[in-house]
Structure 1
């Protein structure tokens, strides 16, 4: 295994951030390192231990550029909408500036997604989506995606959790030749980070969100 950062478990969990502006677009990422991260991700839980996951790793320059263009279009639509990060909590003196920085980061990555050295799409095999509670379905792949990001962080890689490309899910599916029963989840750009000094992000106070034995 290739470790580059000396982080204890709490540090790893609290400093694995969504990285946008600090992705190194010039430095190649060895495929073996990506495979190591996925090997670790495969230890995550899945419903009934079905392990119906598949991982699409995109390194080809033309395909990365094509996915990046779909992502750019999706970001453009997102930033125009009222729910865009840069517009949320606009009047809040504390959260407003943070959200605007996030909005700037989203726009930055939107223009550069196709230049990121490796794009990773964790997928789930599901012939049809149930009409009711789908938590068990998506809960069988999303923890694995997060484990991938943690493993990447431990190796000096930066990643970002984004689903905006799903605006063009069918187009990306056709581009990558994915079977009809393969469901895309998140798009995880993967590159070495420019610096590794990430810190815990501001969050709501625990007492504001904690409910014990009832609401």
Structure 2
């Protein structure tokens, strides 16, 4: 009888610990949502007000020499606003699905190359509604962002191709371009090292695949629990 009582007490204790962990997770989630709301209300409205003031100044100016400075300020506001939106997105667990990640990266790629000569081509294979998790979603996004930035700066490409595909218990993201590719003595610098480090931390893979033209990067993420 005493053995059964001990087993029951142990089960009750484990259940109590589990409930505490769930409560801590809920509190952490509530705190992230609070931070997101505060950033949106305070930081976002402040940036918007600043941008409106600069635009008003631009319309009411009389000295043409201040044009460049005003344009720089407007560009800075846009970058700051975009950074804030990225941070809000990364904190909000309601965007943790694979579908949400693909949608966000697609919009980012289209907007990123909008004012360049590079044309993005997006291909999305069918996928299940998988939950990635906030940390994984953020790191995978930073890998893609680094890849696209490298294409813009170094590839001299005219086209970039993003392919999203779920293969059984893996999510595969290919980023290809039709630019100059890598020279034989070019290692890719810190950009590739950062991508590989992030993917390794997520127990994923980062590959540089052979390509007839341009550069072909592949990111593989395990979806197995």
Q: TM-score, normalised by structure 2?
A: 0.28
Q: Which has the higher helix share?
A: 2
| Higher RCO, Cα 8 Å, sep 6+ | 1
Greater gyration radius: 2
